[in-house]
């Protein structure tokens, strides 16, 4: 069965047309990885390593990459490094997959500058997080996003992660922002499943699960896919969850999601940030990663051993 590019099929051929979900738009792909930023042992950005890792992730099932996000250590990379990373990854993967560049900062003017730089570097879209620390009210938050959307020709993915920013992008704000032609997607880490469904029901925004434990649940109610931290180390297995659902095999999709829970928990719900856990596992797998930048610290031996054990258990389980 073929479907228009950028959409997904209904649940199954036998599904009632009245109950079948409308195809979800996929402006940036379906299985996106929130890619780490590799560094050399001396702490410099490793552009060759970034290209190698990006090519590996695409070969293993990712059809989109998010660069310079939280997992990519954007708070500790310079503006120049951010642009260089986009350029290096674009050179490595060509035009095969969309590249979304994180440009969010606590300063609207700086965010606009980064959006323009990302466009020049070859990004296909920008990821814009709510300004953190200052906690602007909703009208100021809306104005911030609109200014960024007006600044460049790139489509915008809003990043709703109030646990880090201190500010929720409220559902009514998202509904209004959806009226801008370049605001097309949301990376959802709101942990407000009801609010997310309200926006999905009222807008054409493409939602991407930003928390790996929500990949299947959000996809089942109409999301476009995911922006996954865990995909740094198991890209094919993350992609398989969505592939199974698209094929109508919801039982297999559920089994794959639940099988990944121990690794999701170990990588994203423990004491260590996802950047630290992803780099620890990538290093163990012989893939480009390198150290993290302060104030982050690398995983200790006990934590790294635990991560490797959980990873090995998932891989040994097969399918």
Query: Per residue in 271-285, pLDDT tens?
Result: 999 999 999 999 999
pLDDT in tens, 176-192: 999 999 999 999 999 99
pLDDT at 7: 61
Could you tell me the pLDDT band of residue 61, with boundaries at 50, 70 and 90? Answer: very high
Higher pLDDT, 133 or 10: 133
Could you tell me the pLDDT band of residue 3, with boundaries at 50, 70 and 90? Answer: very low
The DSSP annotation for 148-200 comes to HHHHSSS-EEEEE-HHHHS----HHHHHHHTTSTTEEEEEE----HHHHHHHH
Q: Are 264 and 226 in contact (CB under 8 A)?
A: no
Instruction: Classify residue 94 by its DSSP letter.
Output: T
Query: Which residues are registered as beta bridge partners of 31?
Result: 226
pLDDT at 25: 82
Residue 277: C-alpha distances to residues 38, 171, 227, 282, 307 (Å) = 13, 32, 16, 9, 7
Determine the average pLDDT of the residues in 79-88. 98
The structural domains of the chain, ordered by start, are 31-248 (3.20.20.70)
pLDDT at 160: 98
pLDDT at 16: 42
Determine the average pLDDT of the residues in 112-139. 97
CA–CA separation, 299 vs 189, rounded Å? 24
Determine the average pLDDT of the residues in 36-59. 98
Could you tell me the pLDDT band of residue 70, with boundaries at 50, 70 and 90? Answer: very high
Single pTM value for the model: 0.93
Which residues belong to the active site?
159, 187
Could you give the 3-state DSSP secondary structure of residue 87? helix
pLDDT at 312: 97
Determine the average pLDDT of the residues in 82-94. 98
Non-local CB neighbours of 12 within 8 Å, separated by 6+ positions: 248
pLDDT in tens, 212-233: 999 999 999 999 999 999 999 9
Tell me the torsion sign for CA atoms 236, 234, 32, 244: positive
Determine the average pLDDT of the residues in 64-74. 98
The answer to whether residue 194 scores a pLDDT higher than 60 is: yes
Q: Which among 191, 194, 197 has a CA at the least distance from the CA of 168?
A: 191
pLDDT at 6: 60
CA–CA separation, 53 vs 131, rounded Å? 29
Percent residues over pLDDT 70 in the chain: 92
Q: Which among 242, 235, 233 has a CA at the least distance from the CA of 267?
A: 233
């Amino acid at each position: 069965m073929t479907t228009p590019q950028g959409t997904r099929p209904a649940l199954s051929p036998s599904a009632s047309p009245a109950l079948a979900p409308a195809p979800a738009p996929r402006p940036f792909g379906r299985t996106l990885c929130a890619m780490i930023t590799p560094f050399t042992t001396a702490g410099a950005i490793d552009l060759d390593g970034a290209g190698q890792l990006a090519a590996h992730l695409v070969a293993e099932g990712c059809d989109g990459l998010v660069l310079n996000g939280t997992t990519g250590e954007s708070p500790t990379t310079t503006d120049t490094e951010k642009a260089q990373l986009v350029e290096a990854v674009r050179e490595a993967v060509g035009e095969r997959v969309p590249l979304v560049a994180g440009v969010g900062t606590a300063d609207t003017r700086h965010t606009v500058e980064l959006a323009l730089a990302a466009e020049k570097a070859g990004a296909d879209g920008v990821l814009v997080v709510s300004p953190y620390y200052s906690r602007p009210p909703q009208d100021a938050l809306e104005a911030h996003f609109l200014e960024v959307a007006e600044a460049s020709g790139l489509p915008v993915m809003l990043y709703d992660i109030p646990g880090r920013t201190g500010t929720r992008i409220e559902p009514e704000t998202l509904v209004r922002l959806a009226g801008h032609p370049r605001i097309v997607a949301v990376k959802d880490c709101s942990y407000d499943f009801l609010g997310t469904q309200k926006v999905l029901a009222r807008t054409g925004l493409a939602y991407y699960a930003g928390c790996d434990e929500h990949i299947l649940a959000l996809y089942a109610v109409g999301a476009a896919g995911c922006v996954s931290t865990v995909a740094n180390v198991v890209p094919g297995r993350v992609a398989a969850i969505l592939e199974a659902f698209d094929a109508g095999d919801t039982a297999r999709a559920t089994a794959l999601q639940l099988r990944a829970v121990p690794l999701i928990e170990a990588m994203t719900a423990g004491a260590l940030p996802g950047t630290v856990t992803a780099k620890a596992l990538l290093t163990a797998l012989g893939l480009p990663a390198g150290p993290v930048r302060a104030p982050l610290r690398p995983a200790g031996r006990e934590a790294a051993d635990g991560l490797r054990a959980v990873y090995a258990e998932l891989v040994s389980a097969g399918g």
